[in-house]
Amino acid sequence: MEGCGSSVVMVAGTSSLKLQRCLVSSVPKIERKEKPTISYLRYPAVMTCECHGYTAISWTWYMTNGSKQVRFPSVCQVTQPDRYVISKKSASITELKILKLTKEDGGEYSCEATFELGKSEGRLKLKVLSFMAPLKPFIAIVIEVVTLVALIVCYEIYSTKVKRTGKPFLAFH
Amino acid sequence: MPPPANTRRAPSPPDGGWGWVVVFGAFVSIGFAYAFPKGVAIFFKEIQDFFGTSYSEVAWISSIILATTYGAGPISSILVNRYGSRPVVMLGGLLCGIGMVSAAFCTSIMQLYICVGFITGLGLALNLQPSVIMIGKYFLKRRPVANGLAMAGSPVMLCTLAPLNQFLFDSFGWRGSFLVLGAILLNCCVAGALFRPIGPGTASVKTQVTEEGKGALKREDTEDAMEMSSPTNLPVKNKTEEERDRDCCEKINQYLDFSLFKHRGFLIYLIGNVLMFLGFFAPIIFLAPYAKHIGFDEYSAAFLLSILAIVDIVARPTTGIIANSKWVRPRIQYFFSFSIAFNGTCHLLCPLASSYTGLVIYSVFFGLAFGMVCAMLFETLMDLVGAARFTSAVGLVTIAECCTILLGPPIGGKLIDTFGDYKYMFIKCGVVMVLAGTFLFIMNYYNYRMLAKEEKERKAKEEDPKTVRTENECRNNWIKETTQDGPELEPLREEQGPKKEVNGIIEV
């Protein structure tokens, strides 16, 4: 069986140490959200990458700007140190948190994990919307509700009037 | 002193006409109340990642919604007793909308608990109880059918909300989805607008007189109403201190009828249902994980729940129609007990199903049993306490059920974790429900006999020739049950009641 030779990867679980021999001949795959992460302007966004059961030596986050890959932490970090927070949630999970999103933050990101055997990459998408996007269906539904309530109330007033003035001998129903 | 609200007899319910529109409104309202806590679970993974909490912390949101929806039952009852159903449902719809819209702007999990959990949960509570109460006001002869149709709103809404929530989530993320869901929940206000007030104190009091010619059934109702409206004719225990106490009690009872705790039928229902809910919801929650545990894939597991929902949608109105038939209606309590025991038996047999076909068969029967129980859940309570006191009864029952509803799934989960096997959870649920069904069956047998006996005694005392006796004595009891439960009548009935209960369960 092809293996990693003498390399043994130790993964710390919550209460016990699991010894797991690296039995793959290639680097582990990164697990991340397939669908784009959607967040809103001036709100934070969180993106996570995970390599199940393995420990990466280091993680690096990139943002694809056109064709260029910009690395985090980048020059931006110096001027706006509070904008990005890269944290290691556990041995196999990394998280990039962008506080106070701007329109330019939307796009493709990639998280790269460095293992003994090499590097592995996962791609994620971030969509930044303004609140106008869900606001349109919201207003449409509110208008529908108000219209329906008004219609029902008007119909009731109308039918009460008809029954009172129009047909006094029939039973009120 | 005007008779308290809960003794006012509603005039003969129309049993149709605008009532079917009210059923549609109740369908929407009840659907949102039951389906929303489950439907919102789609967003939990994303919220968990966003706030960095554990899954159980996020799952608390569902629990808080459910707890508030059931726990705020008495508040709902008090408000309905005071203001009527329509303003309460519209307020509920507004609260739901406000809760979800403010949830869209939340920045911590605590804020989500408050906005989605408490505020929306309270709004849903103000939707659920008045909807069920309105059905009792608009229907009598066809009430089981109306109840079955309205309760069918729950699975239909769940089937609609699940893909809708997924679509909203893919388009707008969880924040935008909450905003749009807030608007969707405002449709409960539309449902509320449909709840035209009916009953004494409105113009429909005239119908009491004009509709008297409509049949023996209604004739009895109006006579009983006239009998009720002159409480001084009834022999009450004649002590002045007791009368003063009663004034104070009646003032509280105007808002929430605590004298229901002396009502035999109510107590039977309360104990039976509180026991039943301990094993009612856990199997649904753990069905998909159980299927995955056996080895089936995620989609097959989810398909089982779809089968359950589809059978449920069909089962509820069908049960309503069956319960309305002339053979079942007088003995509806037995039918209810049977469906609970049937439900329990399904759970007991589930561990025997190890193949996918077996699980599908289990899902079909479970959906059937679940639908049967849910369709009659409120109908049986109305049958026992009558439409007049139902407002308070439903509030008191829901707050009592709240505890066991919340305890059921965690106990099931604990059993699964301790034994590592799902079968003990199914056995526990099955045993609890079979016990509850048997208890209800026996106690209702006793209750029916007691009611028949009291009816004979009352008839002998009053020698009222106007009381129309139909060939089915129990059907008469069912009609009388809707009229006899004012607090003024309590001491008269309870003189005989408690003595017999002390002597044993079944008194011949």
At B94 the pLDDT is 95
Task: Give me the interface pTM, i.e. the ipTM.
Answer: 0.77
Give chain B positions within 8 Å (CB) of A89. Answer: 52
Comparing alpha-carbon positions, the chain B residue that sits nearest to A147 is B190
On the question of pLDDT at A8 being above 80, the answer is no
E strand or H helix at A18, and its extent?
strand A17-21
CB-CB contact of B126 with B72 (8 Å): yes
Give the closest residue to A108 by CA, choosing from A76, A73, A65.
A65
The answer to the question of residue A154 being in a domain is: no
Computed over its alpha carbons, how large is the radius of gyration of chain B? 23
A64 beta partners: A69, A108
- Say if A17 falls within a structural domain: no
Better-predicted residue by pLDDT, B266 or A14: B266
Residue B14 to residue A173, Cβ atoms within 8 A: yes
Region B245-271: what's the mean pLDDT? 80
Chain mean position to CA A50: 14
Contact A137 B203 (CB under 8 A): no
- Using one digit for the tens of pLDDT, what is the confidence trace for B68-78? 999 999 999 99
- Check whether A118 has a pLDDT greater than 50: yes
CATH code, domain carrying A77: 2.60.40.10
> What is the arithmetic mean of pLDDT over A163-172?
64
The alpha-carbon gap from A38 to the nearest alpha carbon of chain B, in Å, equals: 5
**With 80 as the cut, is the pLDDT of residue A77 above it?**
no
Maximal C-alpha separation, chain B: 74
pLDDT beyond 70 at B492: no
- 8 Å CB contact of B183 and A48: no
**pLDDT tens profile B153-173:** 999 999 999 889 989 998 999
Contact B176 A35 (CB under 8 A): no
Does residue A150 belong to any structural domain of this protein? no
- Which H, E and C letters describe B25-40, residue by residue? HHHHHHHHHHHHHHHH
Closest-CA distance, A160 to chain B, in angstroms, reads 10
Dump pLDDT digits (tens) for B185-221: 999 999 999 999 887 644 433 343 343 334 434 443 4
Residue with the larger pLDDT of the pair A99 and B187: B187
Cβ contacts (< 8 Å) between A152 and chain B: which residues? 190, 193-194
Interchain pair B52, A131: CB under 8 A:
no
pLDDT, tens digit (0-9, with 9 covering 90-100), for A125-158: 888 998 889 999 999 999 999 999 999 999 999 9
Highest mean pLDDT pick, A4-8, A17-21, B197-201, B496-500 = B197-201
Note whether residue A155 is domain-resident. Answer: no
Query: What residue in B sits closest to A32 (Cα-Cα)?
Result: B49
**Predicted pLDDT at A60:** 82
- pTM of structure: 0.77
Predicted confidence at residue B240, as pLDDT, reads: 62
The domain in which residue A76 lies consists of 27-129
Mean pLDDT (chain A) is 76
3 state SS of B218: helix
For B10, residues 6+ apart whose C-beta sits below 8 A from its C-beta are B137, B198, B199, B200, B387, B388
Domain contains A97: yes
Chain A residues touching residue B49 (CB < 8 angstroms):
46, 48
The bridge status of strand A93-98 relative to strand A84-90 is: antiparallel
In-domain check, residue A163: no
Which residues on chain B are in Cβ contact (under 8 Å) with A50? none
What is chain A's alpha carbon radius of gyration, rounded to the nearest angstrom?
Answer: 28
> What is the least distance, in Å, from the CA of A27 to any CA of chain B?
25
User: Which pair of tokens denotes residue B402?
Assistant: 């709240």
User: B50, A46: Cβ pair inside 8 Å?
Assistant: yes
- Quote the tokens at residue B316: 């509820």
Average pLDDT over residues A92-97: 84
Chain B positions in Cβ-Cβ contact with residue A37 (cut-off 8 Å): 173
Strand, helix or coil at A13? coil
Confirm whether A20 is domain-assigned: no
Task: From chain A, pick out residues whose CB is under 8 angstroms from the CB of B173.
Answer: 37-40, 127, 129
Give the strand pairing for A107-114 and A37-40. Answer: unpaired
Nearest-10 Cα torsion for B136, B141, B144, B145? -110
Strands A119-129 and A8-12: unpaired
CB-facing half-sphere around the CA of B190: CA atoms within 13 A: 19
Interface of B with A (CB under 8 A): 14, 17-18, 49-50, 52, 104, 170-173, 175-177, 179-180, 182-184, 186-187, 189-190, 193-194, 196, 203-204, 206-207, 210-211
- Could you tell me which of B122, B129, B14, B7 has the C-alpha nearest to residue B64? B122
Cα–Cα distances (Å) from B91 to B22, B124, B399, B423, in that order, read 17, 10, 20, 44
Number of folded domains that form chain A: 1
If you measure CA to CA, which chain A residue comes closest to B202? A172
Residue A61 lies in a domain: yes
B333 and B478 Cβ atoms separated by less than 8 Å: no
- Mean pLDDT lowest for which of A59-63, B455-459, B480-484? B480-484
